[in-house]
Amino acid sequence: MGVSSDFSAGSCDLQFAWLRPYRDEVKDPDSEVQDLDACYGRVNFKPAPQAGVGLFGVYFKGDSDRSDPATYATITSQNYQLKKFNNNYELDLFTLGCDGQANVGSFFCNWDFMYQTGSIDNANFKESYNGWDYLVVIL
């Protein structure tokens, strides 16, 4: 579910979107409806006829159904993906990026740079190393 808008302003193409990749419809007297929301913005422009640059930003916010550390879900390297987070964790993630392409004759290049920051709360982080399990609890 979501809404997006694409339009042009001068030599720039702009895109804005709000997306909800997950919504928990179950609501009982003690909890509120939980969901994940993402806000996205992007600007594309061509500084030269054979080159293009894009700047983008994404804010991802998620609410958790879990407030007791004994019920926190566990994150491992196998499920450390946003598509598997559902409403198990409290998320505040920001991503800023720049990408582009250039062509000179038969030579071409494509590039991407991204910086991500934020927090994942109400989660247990667990991983194995050389047969030893270790667990980190973030409160």
* Beta strand ranges found along 25-106 (DSSP E): 34-48, 51-62, 73-75, 90-104
Distance CA 135, CA 127 (A): 7
For 95-126, how does the pLDDT look when each residue is reduced to its tens digit (9 = 90+)?
999 999 999 999 999 999 999 998 877 776 66
Please report the pLDDT score of residue 139 as a whole number.
52
In which residue ranges of the chain is pLDDT below 50? none
Please report the pLDDT score of residue 99 as a whole number.
96
Please report the pLDDT score of residue 61 as a whole number.
83
Q: Rounded to whole angstroms, what are the CA distances from 24 to 53, 76, 101?
A: 37, 23, 39
Q: Are 114 and 95 in contact (CB under 8 A)?
A: yes
pTM across the whole model: 0.69
Q: Where do the domains of the chain lie? A: 2-67+87-120
Please report the pLDDT score of residue 54 as a whole number.
96
User: How many CB atoms lie under 10 A from the CB of residue 20?
Assistant: 12
Please report the pLDDT score of residue 12 as a whole number.
92
